[in-house]
Structure formats: structure tokens, C-alpha cells
Amino acid sequence: MVLSGCASGDSESGPTSTVTVYATPSSSSPSASSASSSSPSSAANPALAASFQKVASGTGLRVGVAVAPVGEDSKATMVFGDRDPGVAWSTIKVPLAVAAERENGRSDAETNAIINSDNASAEELWASLGTAEEASAAVTAVLREGGNPDVTVPSQQLRAGFTVFGQTVWSLPDAATFTGHLPCMPGTEHVVSLMGQVAGNQQWGVEIMRLPKSTAVKGGWGPGVDGAYLVRQIGLITYRNGARSAVAMSAVGGSMSGGIAALNAMANWLNQNITALPRGGCR
């Protein structure tokens, strides 16, 4: 078997653009080893950085989050915590589903791959795109369209027992940038709709936020080669006025349940700081 890994009312006062903000972990933080010394200073918003660091330290895991405004020119403008690029796991099923629907139309496999994160259905979508090389090119093209010029989907299996596409290396800023582009890309309405209907195995992270008008997510999870378990999510937050924010977040640690708890903690932090989140819309 091949595995892939894996409210009501809000304040309308939020920024339409932001500066890039990084939280640099202290040496005692689990994410200290992954902090880049060349990253911009958290002085751009020290209070927000400090509040994130408090939440991050409390999880006991290596965590990170990136946020982008939705729009045709979307780019992650708020990044906190862990910036080590990890593999996409089942979050890559979103661009895979977009590529497959464009090529072959809507299908039960597409629905099942997004709503239930079903791996066999995702493999069916991959196979529908032709050879492994053709499938890789098709999904990579969707990522390029979504503002990810440097992310390439593999065409060969990199880890025995896991899907080819699930091992795509996808940093949080790149994932948030793609998610920010997603609603503005042609032929993505159905996939975004499915992300708003995910089953219980993905109802965590952004899904638990109380303030947005609605949310849409895709989760991914799986064990690293070092044994550390990675849980990650991409999501869209829609506000009452129609503006949207795109989020990508991850937690690396000991278990699936621990990773979910960490992402829920970050979602609560996002909820508490919702007016600070970059937001936008499609032209």
C-alpha cells in the first residue's frame, strides 16, 4: 500500500497589506535550530512576534505559520517560527485535484481525495494525468501558476511505501502563497468548495477558528525519515466582507495527535490576532 501521509462574526478592521514579520525563536525553543540568522528582524511587530513565541513554546513542538492575502499577486507577508521546508504530504492533493479536474473534469476521486484525504483516490487522479513525468509536469504547472516558481513535484518515488507526489518539498511561505492565489486561478472553484467540506479527519487547525465567516482547508501528515511526525495544513479564511486570508502551518514532533494539538493552538492564536492578518481578494 502506498500512503500519502496523510463560526460566526469577525472584526472587519484588518490590513490589506503587511510587512514581512518573522519570529526568531529563543535558544530554548524547539524551533531554535531551524531559525535563519539572515531572516528579517521580528522588530517589525515585536508584540505579535512575542505572542506567537509564547504559543509556540507552549506546544513543545517545532511549529511555524505563514499567512498571505488572497489575490492574483499573493505572497506570504507574515511568517513566524519554523521555516525548514518540509514535504507536502496530502496538502499537495489540492494542486493535484486542480490539474486532474482541468484535464478530465470533476470526479468522485477528486471529491474523495480532498474531503476524506483518500490516498487511493489521489493515486487515481495522478494516474489520470498520464505517465509519472506527465503528471509531475501537470501538477508542477499548477504550482507555478500559484506563485511557486521553485517548487517541483517529483516524478519518481522518493520513499518506499509513500506516494510520489506526497514527497514534494513545500515550504510554508510557498504553500501560503499558492493558497492565496488558489481562489483567483481559473477552474479552482470546485476544489475550494471541497476544501470547505472536509471530513472529521481534517477538522482541526484553521477549521476550529471561531471568528471567520467560513474556512476551507486541506491537511497532510506523515512520519519523517528521522521519525519525527509532521502535521501540516493549508487553509482559506473568509471574512464577512468577502476578503480572504491564506494560511499554511505545520508542527513537527512525536505524534499525529500532538501535531493536531499544536496546530489548534496556532489557530487559536490566529483567531485572537485576526485583525492583524493580511487579507485581500480576486480582481
Per-residue pLDDT reduced to its tens digit, 100-151: 999 999 999 999 999 999 999 999 999 999 999 999 999 999 999 999 999 9
Fold of 32-276: Beta-lactamase (3.40.710)
Q: Which pLDDT value is given to residue 227?
A: 87
Q: Give the pTM.
A: 0.86
pLDDT for residue 11 is more than 80: no
Q: Which pLDDT value is given to residue 44?
A: 63
Per-residue pLDDT reduced to its tens digit, 258-279: 999 999 999 999 999 999 999 9
> DSSP alpha helices (H): ranges in 128-186?
132-145, 172-181
Mean pLDDT estimate for the chain: 87
Q: 3-state class of 215 per DSSP? A: strand
Q: Where are the domains of the chain?
A: 32-276
| Dist. CA 172–CA 271, nearest whole Å | 19
> 179, 249 in Cβ contact below 8 A?
no
**Mean pLDDT value of segment 166-178:** 98
